């Protein structure tokens, strides 16, 4: 499929597809001389989606209470 078709399949812009390819996150085939035409297979899309699955996030660590060393409380 073309970059346009891959973008439609992923529901993202063509620029995002190009950026994913440039970052090495989405594999592709280049057909032709020099830069060539970019072609993306369904296997490339499936591989990308498997790697992009989100995992449950751990809750953030509790924030430490702040102590101000330069302030003294009279009492």
Please list the alpha-helical segments (H only) found in the chain: 3-10, 14-22, 42-51
Q: What is the pTM of this model?
A: 0.68
What pLDDT, on a 0 to 100 scale, did the predictor assign at position 67? 67
Q: What is the pLDDT of residue 27?
A: 96
Q: 18: buried, middle or exposed (CB in 10 Å: 19+, 13-18, 0-12)?
A: middle
Which pair of structure tokens corresponds to residue 33? 């001389």
**pLDDT, the chain, mean:** 87
CA 16 to chain centre: 9
């Amino acid at each position: 499929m073309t970059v346009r078709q891959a973008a439609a399949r992923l529901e993202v812009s063509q620029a995002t597809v190009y950026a994913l390819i440039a970052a090495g996150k989405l594999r592709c085939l280049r057909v032709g001389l020099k830069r060539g035409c970019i072609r993306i297979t369904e296997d490339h899309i499936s591989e990308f989606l498997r790697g992009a699955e989100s995992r449950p996030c751990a809750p953030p660590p509790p924030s430490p209470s702040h102590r101000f060393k330069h302030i003294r409380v009279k009492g």
